[in-house]
C-alpha cells in the first residue's frame, strides 16, 4: 500500500497537481483502490441548526452578520426538529448528519446543552453525527465525544498565507488548535477547504501540506468550490472550472490516501460527467440535500439517480469506525466550565471585506 506521509512539501504537491491529467487520474484512481471501495460513496446531510448572525468576516460566507445577503436567519432549532430532519435524511440514504451553527466559537450554556442532546438523539438513530460549531475547547470536545459525536468539522479553508486575505477576525492557529482539541478525544476530524477564492495554485498546495502534516491526517477532507453569493466580498469571483476540482480531488487522494475526500459545495455547477471524473479521481463522499447550510445543492433524488447510472452505492454508517457510545447528561464526567478562551483576533484589515461591510450598511439604510 501507499505510504502515509506527513512530510509533503508544496513543491512535491504542485508537481502532482500539474501532472498531465490522464497520468494524474490514473495515479489517483490506483491509490483510491488500495484503500477504498471505488463503488461506494459516503452520503452526508448538512443541516443548519442556527443560521446567520455570525460575527466573523469570512469573505466567502453569506452568514456573516456584517454583509447584506438574502439569507434568512433562524435561532437554534429544537431537538425534535433536528430529529425529524435526521429521520428524513436517513430515509433518503444518508448515513451521517452534520449540524452547523453560525457561531464564532462554542459557549457553555443552554444552547450548547441542546446541541449535546441533538448529538445523543441522532447517534441513537444509528447515524453518524458531525458538528461544525466554530472553535471549541478540549473540555467542550470531550462533552461532544461523550454525547456520541462521530466527527467534528473545522476547515482550514486555504493556505496559512492566503488565509489572511480571506478572514481577519480569527487566526489560522485557532483552526489548528481546535483540531488538536478534537484529537484529544475519540472524535474523528473533518477538515478541508475552498478553492476559487482568488488563491493561487500554490495556496491550494499549501492547504494540503497543512492537512497532510496533521498526524493522524483528517478522516474526512471536504473540497469545496466557492459559491459566490451576492453581498459577500467574493460575489464577483468566477466559478471554478471542473478541471480544477478534478485536479484538487485527485491530488488530495494521492497525498492523503486513507482520507475520505468529500465533493462538497459547488456541485450544482458540475455536470454528472464532471462529478463522475471526481469520483474516479478519488472522491468518495458527498453532501446530499437541496442546501449546504445556505447555498444550493443538487436534490437528493438527482444524486441517487446519478449513483444508479454510475453503479455507486451509499456507504453504510460506522464502516470506517465503530459507533460511539452515548453517555447521558446526568452520567457525564465532564461538566460545563464556563470557559472564556482567548481565541485570537488579528489586527489586519482586508479591504474587500470592509467594502462589503460598508455596502451592507448602506443597503440596510436604504431599505
Tens-digit pLDDT profile for residues 4-55 = 999 999 999 999 999 999 999 999 999 999 999 999 999 999 888 988 778 8
pLDDT at 151 over 90: yes
Which of 7-11, 296-300, 334-338 is the most confident on average? 7-11
Cα–Cα distance measured from residue 147 to residue 152, given in angstroms and rounded to the nearest whole number: 13
Give the pLDDT confidence score for residue 296 in this predicted structure: 54
Give the CA angle between residues 178, 124, 35 to the nearest 5°: 60
b/e map 161-191, b = 16+ CB within 10 Å: ebbebbbbbbbbebbbbbbebbbebebbbbb
For residues 23 and 366, the model is more confident at 23
Catalytic residues: 54, 58, 61, 98, 130, 190, 262
Phi/psi zone of residue 117: left (φ > 0), alpha (ψ -120 to 50 degrees), beta?
alpha
131 is in an annotated binding site: no
Cα–Cα distance measured from residue 215 to residue 213, given in angstroms and rounded to the nearest whole number: 6
Using DSSP's 3-state secondary structure scheme, residue 157 falls into: strand
262 is in an annotated binding site: yes
pLDDT at 252 over 90: yes
Residue-averaged pLDDT of the chain: 90
Give the pLDDT confidence score for residue 298 in this predicted structure: 62
278 is in an annotated binding site: no
Cα–Cα distance measured from residue 348 to residue 167, given in angstroms and rounded to the nearest whole number: 9
What does pTM read for this prediction?
0.93
Give the pLDDT confidence score for residue 287 in this predicted structure: 83
Distances (CA, A) of 105 to 101, 289, 339: 10, 26, 11
Amino acid at each position: 500500500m501507499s505510504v502515509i506521509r506527513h512530510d509533503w512539501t508544496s513543491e512535491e504537491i504542485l508537481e502532482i497537481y500539474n501532472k498531465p491529467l490522464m497520468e494524474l487520474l490514473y495515479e489517483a484512481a490506483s491509490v483510491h483502490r488500495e484503500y477504498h471501495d471505488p463503488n461506494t460513496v459516503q452520503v452526508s446531510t448538512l443541516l443548519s441548526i442556527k443560521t446567520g448572525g455570525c460575527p466573523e468576516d469570512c469573505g466567502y460566507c453569506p452568514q456573516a452578520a456584517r454583509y447584506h445577503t438574502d439569507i434568512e436567519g433562524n435561532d437554534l432549532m429544537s431537538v425534535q426538529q433536528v430529529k425529524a430532519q435526521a429521520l428524513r435524511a436517513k430515509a433518503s440514504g444518508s448515513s451521517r448528519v452534520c449540524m452547523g451553527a453560525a457561531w464564532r466559537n462554542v459557549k457553555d450554556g443552554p444552547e450548547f446543552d441542546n446541541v449535546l442532546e441533538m448529538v445523543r438523539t441522532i447517534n441513537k438513530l444509528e447515524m453518524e453525527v458531525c458538528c461544525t460549531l466554530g472553535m471549541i475547547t478540549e473540555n467542550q470536545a470531550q462533552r461532544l465525544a461523550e454525547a456520541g459525536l462521530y466527527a467534528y468539522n473545522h476547515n482550514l479553508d486555504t493556505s496559512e498565507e492566503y488565509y489572511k486575505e480571506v478572514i481577519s477576525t480569527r487566526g489560522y492557529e485557532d483552526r489548528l488548535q481546535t483540531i488538536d482539541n478534537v484529537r484529544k478525544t475519540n472524535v474523528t476530524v473533518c477538515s478541508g477547504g475552498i478553492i476559487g477564492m482568488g488563491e493561487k495554485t500554490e495556496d491550494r498546495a499549501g492547504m494540503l501540506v497543512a492537512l497532510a502534516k496533521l498526524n493522524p491526517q483528517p478522516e474526512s477532507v471536504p473540497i469545496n468550490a466557492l459559491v459566490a453569493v451576492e453581498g459577500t466580498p467574493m460575489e464577483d469571483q468566477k466559478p471554478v472550472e471542473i478541471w480544477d476540482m478534478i485536479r484538487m480531488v485527485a491530488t488530495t487522494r494521492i497525498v492523503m490516501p486513507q482520507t475520505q475526500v468529500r465533493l462538497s459545495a459547488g456541485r450544482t455547477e458540475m455536470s454528472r460527467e464532471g462529478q463522475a471524473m471526481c469520483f474516479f479521481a478519488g472522491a468518495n463522499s458527498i453532501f446530499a440535500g437541496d442546501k449546504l447550510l445556505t447555498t444550493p445543492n443538487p436534490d437528493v433524488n438527482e444524486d441517487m439517480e446519478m449513483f444508479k447510472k454510475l453503479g455507486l452505492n451509499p456507504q453504510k454508517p460506522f464502516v470506517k469506525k465503530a459507533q460511539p457510545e452515548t453517555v447521558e447528561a446526568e452520567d457525564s464526567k465532564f461538566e460545563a466550565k464556563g470557559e472564556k478562551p482567548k481565541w485570537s483576533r488579528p489586527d489586519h484589515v482586508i479591504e474587500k471585506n470592509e467594502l462589503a461591510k460598508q455596502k451592507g450598511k448602506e443597503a440596510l439604510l436604504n431599505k
